[in-house]
Amino acid sequence: MTSERSLKVLRVIVQDYVSTSEPVGSKSIVERHSFGVSSATIRNDMAQLEEDGLIAAPHTSSGRVPTDKGYRVFVDQLTEVRPLSTAQRNAIESFLGETGDLDEVLGRTVRLLSQLTSQVALAQYPSFGTARIRHVELVALGPSRVMVVLITDTGRVDQGTVESTAGGDVDQLGRLRERINAVLDSKPLSDAAALLGTIGDALEPGDRDAAMPIVASLLAQVAATRHDRLVISGAANLARTERDFRGSIYPVLEAIEEQVTVLRLFGEMDLDEADVAARIGAENADYGLGEASVVASGYAAPGGALARLGVLGPTRMDYSTNMAAVRAVARYLSRLLGEDEIR
């Protein structure tokens, strides 16, 4: 059974290895940390940790590095999700405090999280199963062009531009806007496709041809809005940490590009009492991410929509800092969206 002192040794091995990327030996532990025991005693503790599969020697006669199991024990038993510093909290509020639509806010969120953690940052769009349509706006861009804007109560704004003769007829554009909103206003997004199919029958014959491309645009926007997807920032950070991957980083890049893999992984991560979760190395092997770790939290959007926010990187990551950053950003994002500041 791993002793209390051995666990403390594991803690400093993880912290020193994350900091230096060099294997950690007993001599450096004694020199850098106040254990009050000899190098021989620390070597005995390290031997116990190695026997328990928590550390390993990457080379003969080298120091030791944490294993995936060691990182798991560190995250579960030894790390603390510390509050962010005042400067970090101010940076979050300053960077995310500006208003904008959901796309813009999520884009700013992942850029900030990537900067705070030096990892790949990922934000899942909220699940829009309970979302409702707030408004459809039609804007004339010319005699035969119309911008079609779909706004949901979750703050999501989608738009498209279509060719329609309604662009040159203010009265016709007004009638189409009124009829479409009468049908869709406050209706669940999940019902929108079926409802759009009924609009033609409710229009005047002279308005139907002009309405067809507008309805087609709305159908495409509804389909895109309901599709799960990620916003990603910081993929270049993987290149800077490439030597932390024993094999190739290409499986990780492919998983990020395909998105569905990460979305599945997010969906299976259960948050702990601190509202954060970590999946480490081999725990992700079924997703082709056996050499990567993922730290995630959850955020809520208006209308009860829920989604995940997190970072992905090598197993040699600063779990304490990353967990604190992910949790803090997710909580601020929930508060921002909950205050309905997204327009």
pLDDT digits (tens, 9 = 90+) for 272-288: 878 899 999 999 998 88
- For 6, 13, 34, 323, the CA distances from 80, given in Å and listed in that order, are 18, 16, 20, 9
Burial (CB count <10 Å: 0-12, 13-18, 19+), residue 40? exposed
Domain with CATH 3.30.450.40 in the chain: 86-127+228-338
Which residue positions in the chain have pLDDT lower than 70? Answer: 1, 60-61, 99, 127-130, 225-227, 302-305, 339-343
Architecture category of domain 86-127+228-338 in CATH: 2-Layer Sandwich (3.30)
> From residue 291, how far is each of 116, 216, 247, 317 by CA, in Å?
22, 44, 8, 12
Question: Distance between CA 181 and CA 203 in Å, rounded?
Answer: 13
**Tens digits of per-residue pLDDT, 182-209?**
999 998 887 888 898 888 887 888 899 9
Position 305 scores a pLDDT of 67
Q: Is 197:169 a contact under the CB 8 Å cutoff? A: no
- Residues 74 and 70: their CA atoms lie apart, in Å, by 6
Domain with CATH 1.10.10.10 in the chain: 4-67
Q: Say which CATH class 129-226 falls into.
A: alpha beta
Q: What is the pTM of this model?
A: 0.74
Architecture per CATH, domain 4-67, reads as Orthogonal Bundle (1.10)
pLDDT at residue 200 in the model = 81
At residue 141, what is the residue type?
Answer: L
The pLDDT value recorded for residue 343 is 34
Q: Where in the chain is the domain with CATH 3.30.390.10?
A: 129-226
Read off the pLDDT of residues 158-172 as tens digits, 9 standing for 90 and up.
889 999 999 999 999
